Amino acid sequence: MAVIRDVMPAFELFQPATVDETLGLLERYGADAWIMAGGLDSFDWLKDRIKRPAVVVDLSQMMDLRGVRDVGGGLEIGALTTLTDLVRHPAVQQRFGLLAQAAELVASPQIRHQGTIGGNVSQDTRCWYYRSGWSCYRAGGNICYADSPTAVNREHAILGASRCVAVSPSDTAPALIALGAEFVLRSRGGERVVAAEDYFVGPDINITQMTVRRPDELLTTIRVPDRFAGAQFYFEKIRDRQVWDFPLVNVASAMTLSGETIQEIRLAVGAVAARPLRLTAVELAVAGKTRNEQTAAMAGELAVDGAVPLRHNSYKILLMQNLVKRAIRGGPMQGEGG
């Protein structure tokens, strides 16, 4: 689909060295400014000339907001930390393996060396009608091309659709929700902290945005509390090719057990709705239950309650059900594919 052209259309380029400078630029240019961290979601938009920002605020020269800090058993992750640095960090590997697993499954090595965690959770949807510049609801128009009779919608939503059927593409988002992370957003006006699951919005709330971030805000830090440090984790991503491809469905769970009894669990699923979905009903239903086949089966069924398939994606319902089952059980059943 992509067409190689000579160069991108011109834009004014700023390379702030500090957070304060960045916030100044965002305040000044507002919606005209495009934040570029690793740029790996940005370049498609700019090269395809679908989005034409007047100003690009490139964060490559900023040394703040990089790296992971160990704070009292939890983590403070700078938004500009690359996925590779995240995967390699000892505290992430040892205590929050769920996040390391999710980040390791993103795209390809070169993309992980450059793509940032802030960019990964803030990236836009992959719906190709929208990304090709069709004037759909999400782009300010009044139709969803992915939900028309002839649409190619194998990758689209089965839950939470409201006019738009695009899905959240991020692999790290469900892991951060399962870990109970918080996102710190800063603007010239101050700072606000939102729970990971509240960073993302569905089309019922805002059809043109994937997150609650305002144009004058910078995502600075992701805080992961110590609550689930070293807990039982499960992450699985299903995709067509084992490199590059976005999730068809992914699942992340963090669970604490007392013997075989599930004490506490947080569970999230990606690529089934416009936002990564935290499955609160399932969490409540399995808490206090014995971790066994029966509980897993019940969780799987409950998870897909109310799912509505489009013409080409009914497979996602069964896929999501099975992934949730595995997350509760802690893996595939014997004899089941890996």
Ligand X SMILES: Cc1cc2nc3c(=O)[nH]c(=O)nc-3n(C[C@H](O)[C@H](O)[C@H](O)COP(=O)(O)OP(=O)(O)OC[C@H]3O[C@@H](n4cnc5c(N)ncnc54)[C@H](O)[C@@H]3O)c2cc1C
**110, 123, 127, 277 from 49: Cα distances, Å:** 24, 17, 16, 31
Among 142, 242, 258, 334, binds other proteins (CB under 8 A): 242
When asked if residue 194 is in the footprint of ligand X (CB under 6 A), the reply is: no
CA angle 102/108/250 to nearest 5° reads 30
Contact 170, 269 (CB under 8 A): no
Q: Which of residues 105-134 bind ligand X (CB under 6 A)?
A: 106-107, 111, 115-116, 118-120, 122-123
Give the binding-site size for ligand X (rule: CB under 6 A): 30
Contact 289, 303 (CB under 8 A): no
CB 40, min distance to ligand X, A = 3
CB 12, min distance to other proteins, A = 5
* Closest listed residue to residue 123, CA positions, set 106, 110, 143: 106
Q: Which stretch binds other proteins (CB under 8 A): 238-246, 265-273, 274-282, 329-337?
A: 238-246
Helix ranges (H only) for the chain are 19-29, 42-47, 83-88, 90-95, 97-104, 109-114, 117-122, 128-131, 172-178, 196-199, 280-286, 293-303, 315-329
When asked if residue 338 is in the footprint of other proteins (CB under 8 A), the reply is: no
CB 104, min distance to other proteins, A = 10
When asked if residue 54 is in the footprint of other proteins (CB under 8 A), the reply is: yes
Q: Which is nearer to ligand X, 83 or 299 (CB)?
A: 83
| Sheet with 232-238, edge to edge strand ranges | 232-238, 249-258, 261-270, 277-278
CA-to-CA distance for 159 and 282, rounded, in angstroms?
A: 15
CB 211, min distance to ligand X, A = 8
How is residue 290 annotated by DSSP?
B
4 binds, among other proteins, ligand X, none (CB under 5 to 8 A by kind): other proteins
Q: Which stretch binds other proteins (CB under 8 A): 12-20, 164-172, 273-281, 310-318?
A: 12-20
When asked if residue 45 is in the footprint of other proteins (CB under 8 A), the reply is: no
CB 58, min distance to ligand X, A = 9
Binding site for ligand X (CB under 6 A): 34-42, 79, 83, 106-107, 111, 115-116, 118-120, 122-123, 169-171, 213, 218-219, 244-246
